[in-house]
Amino acid sequence: MEIIENASLKKLTTFGIEAKAAKLVKTYSNTELISFLQSKPQQPIFVLGGGSNIVFTRNFEGTILQPSDENIVVASENDNEATICAAAGVEWDKLVSFCVEKGLGGLENLSLIPGHVGACPVQNIGAYGVEVKDTITQVDGFYLDSAQPFSFSNELCEFGYRDSIFKRELKGKVVITHVSFKLSKKPQLITHYGNIEEELKSYNKRSIKTVREAVISIRERKLPSPEVNGNCGSFFKNPTIPLTQFEAIKSAYPNVPSYPAGDLVKVPAAWLIETCGFKGIKKGNVGVHSQQALVLINLGNADGNEVIALANEIIEAVKGKFCIELEKEVNIL
């Protein structure tokens, strides 16, 4: 176990905003985690993964808990599929790489998403037509107040679009330690979303490996590296709206992109933001990325409150122009 007093969080978050925690605790096993939880730690407790989905607007007067076990195991397998169990501290893209190298399909479209495995079920991360809920079989962890273990099936996680029980009823109440995934040895490739089909034209064959490479290529072109400009990736959720509202928008903007979402229509938040004139804009130490309007970036020494101010300005503009209220995907603390 690693314990740091008055810890800087700047390098533990991808937005790179300076904030301090009264205490930072890193645990490397369930035994260490249980010991920590039973020690009556300084409250409140906030569980931090890879820091890719959070903006700190102030210092944290409590304990930041970061599960740091990085173990990956093949829990079971047969001729058709395998179950992989990954610890919460594993970097997400390392898990995707591990699975692709073993010929296991299901996660390749989620390549290069920043963050740790422990956060993936919380957010139900998704990209290019795939959501992680489609592969998760089990989520294990502990309740923060009692140190009692839990083991949730996929159904108990109550997954939704960028949503789960961990963002609602159990928010701030649990720490995830392991996530299990069922992956296929005979995968069906999903290539119709985004520019994957176009990107794959330069490859001689199609496989989970080439899909991963295509996704990485697209993401590297479109999204800024946190090492260059601090960011949290997609800052807003893509909204879903009634068909009648979408048709009204389409009558004014015939080229508006959209995707079916049951009885609703999903409209890319990036398009809404760009149409409102925010793409590439700079406001003090923060801005909107010039290649992807869904990404807010740290232009230098950004303050968390500057980030939120720009995000709120975007929300108001989109609401005023389209009567759509964007929802922040990023956690604000």
The pLDDT tens digits of the residues spanning 84-122 come to: 999 999 999 999 999 999 999 999 999 999 899 999 999
**Lowest-confidence region among 48-52, 172-176, 194-198, 209-213:** 194-198
180 CB-contact burial (10 Å; exposed 0-12 / middle 13-18 / buried 19+): buried
Phi first, then psi: give them for residue 177, nearest 5 degrees.
Answer: -110, -30
Gap between the Cα atoms of 23 and 8, Å rounded? 9
Looking at the chain, the domain(s) classified CATH 3.30.465.10 span: 72-198
Write down the pLDDT at residue 44. Answer: 93
Mean pLDDT of 28-35: 96
Longest dimension (CA), the chain: 61
Pick 177 or 162 by higher pLDDT: 177
* pLDDT on residue 35: 95
User: Is 296 a residue whose pLDDT tops 80?
Assistant: yes
What is the Cα–Cα distance from 273 to 238, expressed in whole angstroms? Answer: 11
Question: Smallest Cα–Cα separation from 284: which of 311, 309, 306, 313?
Answer: 306
Q: Is 10 left (phi over 0), alpha (psi -120 to 50) or beta?
A: alpha
How many of the other CB atoms lie within 10 Å of CB of 63? Answer: 21
Q: Where in the chain is the domain with CATH 3.90.78.10?
A: 230-332
Residue range 107-161, pLDDT digits in tens? 999 999 989 999 999 999 998 989 999 999 999 999 999 999 999 999 999 999 8
Question: Other CB atoms closer than 10 Å to residue 192's CB: what's the count?
Answer: 9
- Which active-site residues does the annotation give? 162, 234, 329
Q: 230-332 is classed in which CATH architecture?
A: Alpha-Beta Complex (3.90)
Going by pLDDT thresholds of 50, 70 and 90, the confidence category of residue 317 is very high
The pLDDT, as a whole number, for residue 179 is 98
Give the Cα separation of 18 and 11 in Å (integer). Answer: 8
CA gap 130, 233 in Å, rounded: 17
Burial (Cβ within 10 Å: 0-12, 13-18, ≥19) of residue 217: middle
Residues contacting 77, CB < 8 A, separation 6+: 83, 185
- Considering the domain 2-67 in this protein, what is its CATH number? 3.30.43.10
Query: How many residues in total does the chain contain?
Result: 333
Query: Is residue 193 over pLDDT 80?
Result: no
Residue whose pair of structure tokens reads 């294990």 in the numeric block: 140
Once rounded to an integer, what is the mean pLDDT over residues 196-221?
90
Is the Cα dihedral 79, 81, 83, 89 positive or negative? Answer: positive
| CATH 3.30.43.10 segments of the chain | 2-67
What would the mean pLDDT of 245-261 be, rounded to a whole number?
94
CATH code for the domain defined by 72-198 = 3.30.465.10
Residue 265 has pLDDT above 90, yes or no: yes
- Alpha-carbon span 242 to 230, nearest angstrom: 35
pLDDT above 90 covers a percentage of the chain that reads 83
Give 39-70 pLDDT, tens digit per residue: 988 789 999 999 988 999 999 999 999 999 99
